[in-house]
């Protein structure tokens, strides 16, 4: 049978430790438990075995080596003084790799660190997110990117939430290319924006959801009048009229349809999308849908809803939007009649 390697033998059967291993063990004993623990974390198993052999030898035959090893260690550290210049260059290189050239240069040359971006931005960084977004929305995307990149992620995210959606991709794209911002540049931006921001705050300006307000007004008018208004708007802005028209009839408005119209809608609806659409529907809408299905179909749909696990809200909303679009298409073809909450039915 092949002879076992020394690494596999118990300490009592391994060859005697080298003088270096004995000295290493002695130094670790002298440095104490805490330092020795940190050193052992850096050793691989082979090196740890050598130190263990050295400790065994130190305890068994050469206890006097403890003092000699510590003295030799201290003497070697004293001799390192001549390598200080090389050590400085080495540490600079290590710091440059770990921290980046600019931060390493400041640290080793005693240059003061730049002030935090929030401090440079001053009142801009502390402004109300909505007010600041109103000011930034009128600026170039690269300017907005500089300001937001210099803020904390939480503050930048709060401001971005109020930036118009169409501007966000360009801003984010430019933010992704910002590596560093000189304090002087941020101070110039602060000076340019502070006056505008103060004007916005002083005048009490606030963001208004004009489209949402217009939709609420239209929803409270009879259907014929809604169509008259949309037709008039379409003469100047067809896209706006189409957007308003699509949003006038919401998924919850399905509950306002007559039973016959619900049945016509269900005949055309995608059976696979229906459970998703009803996942977050109100009880009123769900009851209206189930009421106008056969008992078998109603039970199957109820079972599907009960067995359905969590679903992304975006998927549910898309299914609901598909059903409302279908209802609008059927209404345009005269197959169903869409009514508003204010329409009187007899």
Query: Residue 9: its pLDDT value, please?
Result: 41
- What is the enclosing helix (H) or strand (E) of 336? none
150: containing domain: 117-202
77 and 123 together in one domain: no
Query: Residue 183: its pLDDT value, please?
Result: 64
Query: Cα 141 from chain centroid?
Result: 21
Whether 244 is covered by a domain: the verdict is no
Stated pTM of the model: 0.39
CATH code for position 259: 1.10.220.30
Which residues are CB-neighbours of 156 under 8 A, at least 6 positions away? 148, 149
125 and 74 together in one domain: no
Whether 216 is covered by a domain: the verdict is no
Q: At what angle do helices 141-149 and 183-202 cross, to 10 degrees?
A: 100
47 and 139 together in one domain: no
Minimal CA–CA distance to 139: which of 107, 187, 171?
171
Under 8 Å between Cβ of 238 and 244: no
147 and 195 together in one domain: yes
Q: How many structural domains is the chain composed of?
A: 3
Query: Residue 111: its pLDDT value, please?
Result: 62
Under 8 Å between Cβ of 215 and 340: no
- Which of 31, 60, 81 is at the close of a domain? 81
DSSP collapsed to 3 states, 180-226: CCCHHHHHHHHHHHHHHHHHHHHCCCCCCCHHHHHHHHHHCCCHHHH
Give the tens place of pLDDT for each residue, 252-289. 888 888 899 999 999 988 888 889 988 888 889 899 99
Query: Residue 5: its pLDDT value, please?
Result: 44
Whether 61 is covered by a domain: the verdict is yes
Handedness of CA 334, 340, 344, 346 (dihedral sign): positive
76 and 163 together in one domain: no
Under 8 Å between Cβ of 273 and 323: yes
Which residues are CB-neighbours of 31 under 8 A, at least 6 positions away? 39
268 and 342 together in one domain: yes
122 and 66 together in one domain: no
Whether 156 is covered by a domain: the verdict is yes
Whether 210 is covered by a domain: the verdict is no
Q: How many CB atoms lie within 10 A of CB 14?
A: 17
Query: Residue 90: its pLDDT value, please?
Result: 63
Q: Measured at the alpha carbon of residue 20, what is the angle toward residues 17 and 23, in degrees to the nearest 5? A: 95
Whether 56 is covered by a domain: the verdict is yes
d(CA 284, CA 274): 15
Under 8 Å between Cβ of 214 and 244: yes
Parts of the chain with a pLDDT under 50: 1-14, 82, 84, 117, 201-206, 208, 346
The DSSP string of 39-67 is: HHHT--HHHHHHHHHHHHHHHHT-TTHHH
343 and 254 together in one domain: yes
- Which of 202, 237, 262 is at the close of a domain? 202
Whether 208 is covered by a domain: the verdict is no
Give the tens place of pLDDT for each residue, 203-251. 444 454 667 777 777 777 776 777 788 888 888 888 888 777 777 778 8
187 and 273 together in one domain: no
Whether 239 is covered by a domain: the verdict is no
Could you tell me the two tokens for 60? 């068994």
133 and 195 together in one domain: yes
- Which of 144, 169, 202 is at the close of a domain? 202
């Amino acid at each position: 049978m092949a002879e076992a390697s020394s690494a596999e033998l118990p300490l009592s059967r391994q060859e005697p430790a080298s003088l270096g291993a004995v000295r290493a063990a002695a130094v670790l004993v002298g440095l104490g438990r805490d330092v020795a623990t940190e050193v052992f974390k850096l050793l691989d198993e082979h090196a740890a075995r050598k130190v263990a052999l050295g400790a065994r030898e130190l305890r068994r035959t050469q206890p006097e080596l403890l003092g000699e090893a510590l003295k030799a260690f201290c003497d070697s550290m004293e001799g390192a003084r001549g390598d200080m210049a090389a050590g400085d260059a080495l540490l600079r290189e290590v710091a440059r790799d770990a921290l980046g050239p600019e931060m390493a240069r400041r640290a080793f040359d005693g240059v003061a660190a730049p002030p935090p971006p929030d401090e440079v931005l001053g009142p801009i960084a502390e402004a109300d997110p909505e007010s600041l977004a109103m000011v930034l929305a009128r600026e170039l995307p690269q300017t907005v990117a500089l300001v937001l990149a210099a803020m904390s992620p939480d503050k930048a995210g709060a401001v971005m939430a109020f930036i118009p959606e169409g501007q966000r991709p360009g801003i984010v794209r430019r933010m992704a290319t910002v590596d560093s911002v000189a304090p002087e540049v941020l101070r110039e931006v602060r000076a340019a924006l502070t006056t505008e921001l103060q004007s916005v705050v002083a005048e009490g300006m606030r963001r208004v959801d004009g489209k949402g307000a217009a939709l609420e007004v239209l929803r409270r008018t009879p259907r014929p009048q809604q169509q008259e208004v949309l037709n008039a708007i379409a003469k100047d802005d067809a896209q706006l009229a189409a957007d308003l028209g699509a949003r006038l009839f919401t998924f919850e408005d399905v509950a306002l349809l007559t039973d016959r119209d619900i049945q016509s809608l269900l005949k055309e609806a995608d059976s696979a999308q229906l459970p998703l659409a009803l996942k977050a529907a109100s009880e009123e809408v769900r009851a209206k849908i189930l009421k106008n299905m056969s008992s078998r179909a109603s039970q199957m749909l109820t079972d599907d809803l009960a067995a359905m696990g969590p679903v992304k809200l975006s998927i549910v909303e898309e299914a609901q939007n598909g059903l409302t679009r279908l209802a609008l298409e059927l209404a345009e073809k005269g197959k169903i009649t869409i009514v508003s909450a204010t329409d009187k039915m007899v």
